[in-house]
Amino acid sequence: MNADKSPLEFRRQYRHQIHHVFNAFATAEAISQWFAPHESIKTNVTQYEFYTGGRYRMEFTLPDGITTSLTGEFHAIDKPAHLAFSFCWEKPDPHADIDTLVSIDLLEDGEYTQLIVSHIKLKGEDMRARHNEGWLGTLSRLDDYLNS
């Protein structure tokens, strides 16, 4: 399958109720505490309109002081089971202006919640590798946030 067409997919199980996991995505305050691949990267949420058609924008300050920005639009919000949003880096990021899509599904399983992330429309192996690493770190930080 073509790398540009096959999604990156991640499955995680969190020992929290589905509403608690969903709410980690629902506010700028929550997102700013965990949405970055490493704790050394600071997330500043400058826009977060959490409704279908709403926009978001986040700035990430790297340890060396460089800032990169991510923007997008919420395409679907079905509390507490599903989110879908566009995901686009801004210039001067090397992957700027490439619109990708993220879908997040949550499934309740007793005292656990299964989280499934699918990220599509990634262009080339470099972009896929970068986002694979980013999601792995980010989902680990989500676990830390939920447990705090």
Which pLDDT belongs to residue 6? 76
Question: Could you tell me which residues are beta bridge partners of residue 9?
Answer: 118
Q: Delineate the domains of the chain, giving CATH numbers in brackets.
A: 8-147 (3.30.530.20)
Whole-angstrom distance, CA of residue 50 vs CA of residue 94? 27
Whole-angstrom distance, CA of residue 53 vs CA of residue 62? 29
Nearest by Cα to 100 from 81, 73, 82: 73
CB atoms within 10 A of CB 76: 12
Which pLDDT belongs to residue 64? 96
Which pLDDT belongs to residue 4? 55
Q: Which residues of the chain have pLDDT under 70?
A: 1-5
Whole-angstrom distance, CA of residue 123 vs CA of residue 3? 7
Taking only the tens place, the pLDDT of each residue in 105-128 is 999 998 999 999 999 999 999 999
Q: What is the DSSP letter of 70?
A: E
Which pLDDT belongs to residue 1? 44
Q: What is the DSSP letter of 134?
A: H
pTM of the model: 0.93
Contact 99, 73 (CB under 8 A): no
Whether the CA torsion 124, 126, 129, 135 is positive or negative: it is: negative
